[in-house]
A and B are shown apart, each in its own frame.
Chain A
Amino acid sequence: MRNIIAITTKELKSFFVSPIAYVVLMLFLVVTGYLFYIGIVEFQLTYRRFQTIAQIYKNPQILENLNVNAIIIERFLVNILFVLLFLMPAIMMRSFAEEKRNGTEELLMTAPITVNQIIAGKFLGSFIFVLALILPTIVYQVLLFSFSTPELGPVVTGYLAILGFACIGISVGMFASSLTQNQIIAMVITFVCMFMFFIIGMISPGEETVLGKVVSYVSIYQHTKDPLRGLIDTKDIVYFASLSLLFIFLTKQSVESVRWR
């Protein structure tokens, strides 16, 4: 456990020493802040439209159908997923690629620690970094809760879905980064991989065929849809866990493959 913590601390330090962390943090906050603003403006427009309709029909109850959760929060969380899709590859590209380029891979592999500990340490370090990235967006939710009365449940499950998505991103990123010493290549592989998981649900040939079922099982969209609306199903948890574990397993094989050649 102590070995894992040593690696995790080192990872976190190297994140915050490099300019990448600050560029990513700033980009993330600027983009999500803008998207939040857009969400509020959109809500306002819809509200006015509903007001007019309510006046015409002389029925003020129509306004109660406006749902802050559906109009602002759910869309905002989906947008965070999209922003992460683009940022995760940049966050993860250093992971193993830099160790290889610096020759420090030899240091880690000849230290009295196991490959599992190295991977666990790196995973945890990246996970904490992503947490630090997402945490400030809670402020937006606090704002919404102080001016309105949205439901808390979907917000919590929505954030859990985002963290599940981040876990997949971290594992895919570690795997891609362990394949090469070139960070750009690692970044592109991670992005393409994540993008595939993202869009595969949109080109689904329908749920009836076997292929359709497989496609919708792999799709990230299919498994974030329900949590974003406040529904948590074990099959979604199994999905996030199994896909992350698959890529962690592949990372282990790839790191150890120096020893097969």
Chain B
Amino acid sequence: MLEVKDLLKRYGDRTVLHHLNFSVEKGEVVGFLGPNGAGKTTTMRILTGFLPPTSGEVHIAGYDLQSKPIEVKRRIGYLPEQPPLYMDMTVKGYLRFISKLKGIRGDSLADRIDWAMQKCGLQEVQKRVIANLSKGFRQRVGLAQAILNEPELLILDEPTVGLDPRQIREIRSLIKELAGEHTVILSTHILSEVSMTCEKVMIINEGRLIKQGNIEEVTAGRSLEEVFIGLISQDETNVQ
């Protein structure tokens, strides 16, 4: 489904991603963990084709991201850290615009929008202007935008940041619901979120992938927090 080979990203002299290698199978939910500034957002931006890698290869759903960006973009849904919303549009108008961008047309258009709104619990606010919505609703509109085209790969950058506990629970159950038919990569630094929603985990620190595998394997009976802190501090002493 997703294959990343030897991914390297440099900003000038600063290397932010060091030779990442990982792959994700269809239907998996992967938690992407790391401290702030570890390179999570950069990795996700590369996977979505927003930023090009300095070197390395990315294959998504059998297409090479460098040579077939449009084919890849058609098959992904992306929720950036800051939900990309047009404040002056209504929820429904916004979703209609996104469906057109994503090439959903004709009869299926209304169905897709209704489906996404229903999944994200947006029906009651569909006629409201986005600028007047609360943060939780805005986040959900962002999520609805990402799942509109039923993407094979869903990339979510900190999908629950800034939400209240009840909303966090709703988003989590939504992600679980989507898991079967979609592949999901979500970044976060809330560790409990990963243990609750993901099967696989990847831990990144200072641009290096320091651990990946199934949650049970990685934790081996300990709590994820313990493992995470242990790995990060171990990695930092190694680097020094």
Contact = CB atoms under 8 A, between A and B. Distances in A.
Contact of A103 (B73, B82, B88, B103): B82
B73 A112 contact: yes
B239 interface: no
Interface in B62-114: 70-71, 73-74, 76, 78, 80, 82-89, 93, 97-98, 100-103, 105
Given A3-B101, A259-B52, A112 B84 contact: no
Interface stretch (B19-27, B43-51, B201-209): B43-51
Contacts of A258: 50-51
A102 B142 CA distance: 13
Nearest to A117: B101
B145 interface: yes
Nearest to B75: A112
Interface residues of B, number: 31
Contacts of A104: 84-86
Given A103-B80, A103-B82, A109 B50 contact: yes
A114 B88 contact: no
Given A102-B87, A103-B84, A2 B100 contact: yes
Interface residues of A, number: 26
A11 to B, nearest CB: 11
Nearest to B83: A103
A46 to B, nearest CB: 48
A253 to B, nearest CB: 15
Contacts of B101: 3, 6-7, 108, 111-113
Contacts of B145: 107
A110 B73 contact: yes
Given A6-B100, A111-B102, A102 B50 contact: no
A174 to B, nearest CB: 18
Contacts of B86: 10, 14, 102, 104
Which residue, A10, A107, A261, has most C-beta atoms of chain B within 10 A?
Answer: A107
Contacts of B85: 102-104
A64 interface: no
A112 B74 CA distance: 5
Contacts of A106: 45, 50, 78, 80, 84
Give the top 5 A-B pairs by smallest Cβ distance, nearest first: A107-B84, A6-B100, A112-B73, A112-B74, A103-B82
12 contacts: A3-B100, A14-B88, A14-B89, A102-B84, A105-B84, A106-B50, A109-B50, A112-B70, A112-B73, A112-B101, A113-B101, A259-B52
